[in-house]
Amino acid sequence: MIRVSVFYPNNSDATFDMDYYCNKHVPMVGGMLGDALKGAAVESGLAGGGEGIPAIYIAMTHLTFESIESFEQSFGPNAEEILADVPNFTNTKPQLQISEIKI
């Protein structure tokens, strides 16, 4: 299994519409990825590592797939439409990481 994590960096100018993201964007992506998507979780950053330190990421999303190939086959044909929706909920540039799930 692999996890595709999308990180939305936080900064003083960052905006993020969590309602739109959770109720429109994520369901849209899930519909496009179909059965290849095995699970999804959305996190909203609350704080950094100490008192008064803001969260590094304003939001994070973790998508689970059987393999990199299943991710690529489902995401690739839909990438343009998925990425075109990003300005509808944030002014940040998402960062992506693909990881192998060990436990």
Distance in angstroms (rounded) separating the CA atoms of residues 71 and 39: 12
pLDDT value of residue 17: 98
Q: What is the pLDDT of residues 4-62, one digit of tens each?
A: 999 999 999 999 999 999 999 999 999 999 999 999 999 999 999 899 999 999 999 99
Distance in angstroms (rounded) separating the CA atoms of residues 72 and 90: 24
CATH classification at residue 25: 3.30.70.100
Distance in angstroms (rounded) separating the CA atoms of residues 58 and 5: 13
pLDDT value of residue 77: 98
Cα 24 from chain centre:
13
Range of the domain at 74: 2-46+54-100
Encoded amino acid at 15, one letter: T
Entry pTM: 0.94
pLDDT value of residue 82: 98
Beta-bridge mates of residue 39: 64
Q: Given the DSSP bridges, would you call strands 57-65 and 39-44 parallel, antiparallel or unpaired?
A: antiparallel
Distance in angstroms (rounded) separating the CA atoms of residues 32 and 64: 14
Q: What is the pLDDT of residues 51-76, one digit of tens each?
A: 999 999 999 999 999 999 999 999 99
User: What domain count does the chain have?
Assistant: 1
